[in-house]
Amino acid sequence: MRIALARSLFVFVPAWLFVASCSSTTEKSQSLRQVDDLLSHVERMQVEVLVGKEKAHAALDQLTALTAPSFGGDPSAAYGQFVHAIDQSEAQARTVSSNVFPMKEAAESMFQQWTVDLESFGNSRLRARSVMRMEETRTRYQNVLSSATAVRVAYEAFNSDLRDHALFLGHDFNTAAVQSIASDVAAMQEQIGEFDTRIEHCVAASKAYVEAGALHGQIEIAPVDPTVAPQAQATAPKPAQPRKRRMTTLAPAQDPVATTITTAPAPAPAATTGDSTSTPKP
């Protein structure tokens, strides 16, 4: 009976230790998954705002061509293309907006777990260093969030103005009406310039976050040359560093309907022979 009991304990204890070890490993892996999850959301935000830039410019190009003094296309077809371009831009703005909330959720989960784990440190020096690193990471993330929010607000305002122009022209698309909104169309060019600036800030903040927060080994670091003085290394131009974690870029799908509006076609050049003074063939 004692031998059987001893055998049962011998089997039970290692199994219990194995389960506890797996649980601890799972918790540690979860924290890294949270880090990588937030990195993916930041990368995705960068992609979506760049696609938004393309959609916004495409819609404004349609409006500019539609209201150009030299416009000579089909008014109904051109107006339909303009409205379609606005639809696409508005859809992309909703995509940008829908990516903000999951990014915030991922950040809250990661920083909350990081804060909890700070209480488990036994080494006060490492704990203080982790606190500093966490705050630096939080600052970089806040830059991404604030710049993405600024892009979302500017994008929605820009699309709203585009929609107003479509509404105006939808009821009054004639030469006099087009001339009356010339200054408004010019103001849209300034507005999209400010929008582009906000996108540049968002892209820069996203890149800074990914480059600083990518898991070890995902971004390669250029080796240090021991034969060069540290001061020279600090001032020397840095070579391009290949990255293992690449910033994904999505090219928007080609839309066969939203083609660029063209003005009246220019006459074809006259056919010539080897003699530069020859006249065109009838």
Per-residue pLDDT tens over the stretch 197-232: 999 999 999 999 999 998 887 765 445 455 555 454
The more confidently predicted of residues 29 and 180 is 180
DSSP string, 225-277: -TTS-HHHHHHSPPPPPPBSS-----PPPP-SSSPPP--SPPPPPPP--SSTT
Task: Please give the Cα distance from 185 to 191 (Å, whole number).
Answer: 10
pTM of the model: 0.69
Selection from 102, 190, 206, 216 nearest residue 144 by Cα: 206
Residues 6+ apart with CB under 8 A from 203: 46, 49, 50
Q: What's the mean per-residue pLDDT of the chain?
A: 78
For residue 139, give both structure tokens. 């600052």
Residue 94 has pLDDT above 90, yes or no: yes
Predicted pLDDT of residue 12: 41
CATH number of 20-218: 1.20.120
Residues 112-122, mean pLDDT to the nearest whole number: 93
Is residue 35 a contact partner of residue 210, using CB atoms and an 8 Å limit?
A: no
Q: Where are the domains of the chain?
A: 20-218
SS3 219: strand
Predicted pLDDT of residue 215: 83
Cα→Cα distances 108→45, 103, 141, Å: 17, 9, 11
Task: Please give the Cα distance from 83 to 112 (Å, whole number).
Answer: 45
Residue 185 has pLDDT above 60, yes or no: yes
For residue 249, give both structure tokens. 């870029």
Helix or strand run (H / E) with residue 24: helix 2-66
SS3 94: helix
Under the banding of pLDDT at 50, 70 and 90, the label for residue 133 is very high
Is residue 81 a contact partner of residue 87, using CB atoms and an 8 Å limit?
A: no
Task: Please give the Cα distance from 234 to 224 (Å, whole number).
Answer: 11
Residue 261 has pLDDT above 90, yes or no: no
Predicted pLDDT of residue 28: 52
Predicted pLDDT of residue 195: 97
